[in-house]
Amino acid sequence: MRIALLGGTGDIGQALALRWARDTDHEILIGSRDPERARGKADEYETELDSVGVEREVKGFANEMAADRADVVVLAVPAFHARDTVEAVADRIEEADVLVSPAVGMDRDEEGFHYKPPKAGSVTKLVADAAPDEVPVVGAFHNLSADRLANLDVELDLDTLVVGDDEDAVETVRQLADQIEGLRALKAGGIANAAEVESMTPLLINIAMENEGMHDVGVTFK
């Protein structure tokens, strides 16, 4: 399977790329608005993987080309770029593909981070509204610490919640998440439930900021 991480030069894109490249045989494509930046980051990821004894090829492309080549397209971009990114690649994704949104809308003030959903109700719903009608959208990876995920020396013991209205697409993403060592994917219902999942992210960041030694706090359900 080919996985494209659009905006894959950023924190969550890097983290997912490294983990999937290390733990699976899937082909990893890094997308960016600047293809040279994508290729440069892909080279950096290869070097980091090599440092832990993993020899893998990671390829970099413009977002449009990465999406065109992929079976699963992850929008590893900030929430305020999600709609524009979907619209830019809309003619490159097909019914058989799966579009994944990990983005969360947030604001910050002197008290900390606060959930700020778009008018659609959640970023996952915003992405679903912007995507071509036939392309299934799944929300996942919202509540993970990108720093913790990107550190391949750290053993994970975390859960991620998966929401979506297309059961086959949800199962595809659930399996991809489960293939990351130490990560468990739990289904949390349809896209109507995305706001409840996304709203946990600013809470976790605030906990991390307020408590010493919890910089990479995550969630495990038992």
H/E segment holding residue 13: helix 11-23
What mean pLDDT is reported for the chain?
96
> Parallel, antiparallel, or unpaired for β 158-164 and 137-139?
antiparallel
Structure confidence at residue 86 as a pLDDT band (50, 70, 90): very high
Q: What is the DSSP string of 77-143?
A: S-HHHHHHHHHHHGGG--TTSEEEE----EEEETTEEEE---TTSSHHHHHHHHS-TTS-EEE--TT
Rounded to an integer, what distance in angstroms lies between the CA atom of residue 99 and that of residue 71?
Answer: 9
Residue type, 166: D
| Confidence (pLDDT) at 187 | 98
> Is residue 90 within 8 Å of residue 131, measured between CB atoms?
yes
Angle between helices 79-89 and 123-130 (to 10 degrees): 20
* Model confidence at 215: pLDDT above 90: no
Rounded to an integer, what distance in angstroms lies between the CA atom of residue 35 and that of residue 175?
Answer: 29
H/E segment holding residue 173: helix 167-178
> Residues 91-135: pLDDT tens digits?
999 999 999 999 999 999 999 999 999 999 999 999 999 999 999
> Residues 38-67: pLDDT tens digits?
999 999 999 999 999 999 999 999 999 999
Distance of CA 85 to the CA centre of its chain: 14
| Confidence (pLDDT) at 212 | 87
The domains found in the chain, sorted by start residue, are 2-210 (3.40.50.720)
Structure confidence at residue 202 as a pLDDT band (50, 70, 90): very high
Residue 145: helix, strand or coil by DSSP? Answer: coil
What percent of the chain has a predicted confidence (pLDDT) above 70?
Answer: 100
* Model confidence at 31: pLDDT above 80: yes
> What single DSSP character describes residue 192?
G
Rounded to an integer, what distance in angstroms lies between the CA atom of residue 205 and that of residue 126?
Answer: 23
Rounded to an integer, what distance in angstroms lies between the CA atom of residue 52 and that of residue 205?
Answer: 28
